[in-house]
Amino acid sequence: MKARGWEVLQRIRQGQTLVFDGGYGTMLFAAGLANGACPELWNDTHADVVRSIHQGYVDAGSDIVETNTFGGARLKLNEYQLGDRTRELNVKGARLARSVSLPHGYVAGSIGPTSRLPAEYEPLGDTTDEEYFQTFREQAEALAEGGVDLFAVETMMFPQEATAAIRACKTVADLPVMATMFFQFEELHDRDRTMWGESPAEVAKNLLAAGADVVGMNCGRGPDRAVVIIGQMRAVTDAPLVAYPNAGLPITTGDTVTYELGPEEMARHYPALLEAGCNIVGACCGSNPEHIRRIAVVVRAAGRRRAGPRPPEASL
């Protein structure tokens, strides 16, 4: 029997657009996470807070919620002297998200970058492809044990790391892999590129070749660039695409960081994002459940328009 996560691809093939969730760092900081502290540790020490964040996104209309495990790979947890708790914190993260997921909803296991540069980037780079693979495999195994429906390899900047994460997920379990890259907007050239210099079209093709089932972008400048990025990806593939951009650029005032776009302002970009060919939409840094609520309204309205008016007997 196929795992439930494969329903995500089936629903997309049937013409449905799914709603992802929003920012976790934003919500954790609002709940009191100290700057420089480990967010994944809260899966143990503040489980109720993490669960309430998941619940907020479910209530807002998210079809897919992701785990609070963005920095849950051993190479990243080692920065907090928590590497030995890798399995525990990822399993707990998956189970917290699972505990609030609706019967028709899905849990995505979040796998973010390690903050370690590839070995090719001498003299600063020190991580081999095999080291990336092993650390992501360990994390993916724990997320699968905790009950995720799919993996979300996200905010990747270098192809070596992204490819290793996708391979690791595919080795661990027969679950779909969603893979997204971080793009910088180069104003001088009016284009979007990864840290490696890849274009959106190149990223889409490379992530799919690595084995990803859904590809796209997250984080970055905001939904206006997401529209452009997704459009360029859609021009080279008919594979499912996902976008969950930041709520605009961050604005720092003293010790306070806010973001440019409120929920209503951000949601205004989403009809264009759907028109560009995006199949799963959500939001990233600076967003909260109200952003997702507004985005979900746009998605549901677009779905009703595509379906057209129901015949009179269908409404009886």
The residue ranges of every structural domain in the chain are: 6-307
Q: Measured between alpha carbons, how far is 159 from 213 in angstroms, rounded to an integer?
A: 16
- Residue whose structure tokens are 């905790």: 146
- What does R_g of the chain's alpha carbons equal in angstroms? 19
SS3 256: strand
Q: Determine the distance from the C-alpha atom of residue 90 to the mean position of all C-alpha atoms in its chain, rounded to a whole number.
A: 16
Q: Measured between alpha carbons, how far is 247 from 27 in angstroms, rounded to an integer?
A: 13
pLDDT at residue 125, rounded to an integer: 84
DSSP 40: G
pLDDT at residue 121, rounded to an integer: 78
pLDDT at residue 306, rounded to an integer: 64
Burial 196-226, CB ≥16 within 10 A → b, else e: bebbbbbbbbbbbebebbbbbbbbbbbbbbb
Collect the ranges in the chain with pLDDT lower than 70. 305-316
Pairing type for strands 256-259 and 250-253 reads antiparallel
Per-residue tokens: 263? 């929920």
CB atoms within 10 A of CB 12: 19
pLDDT at residue 314, rounded to an integer: 31
Interacting residues of 281 by C-beta distance below 8 A, sequence separation 6+? 17, 18, 19, 20, 242, 243, 244, 270, 273, 274, 295, 299
pLDDT at residue 307, rounded to an integer: 53
CATH superfamily ID and name for 6-307? Homocysteine-binding-like domain (3.20.20.330)
- What burial class does residue 290 get, using C-beta atoms within 10 Å of its C-beta: 0-12 exposed, 13-18 middle, 19+ buried? middle
Give which of 129, 121, 139 is closest to 210, Cα–Cα.
Answer: 129
Give which of 309, 183, 216 is closest to 18, Cα–Cα.
Answer: 216
pLDDT at residue 312, rounded to an integer: 36
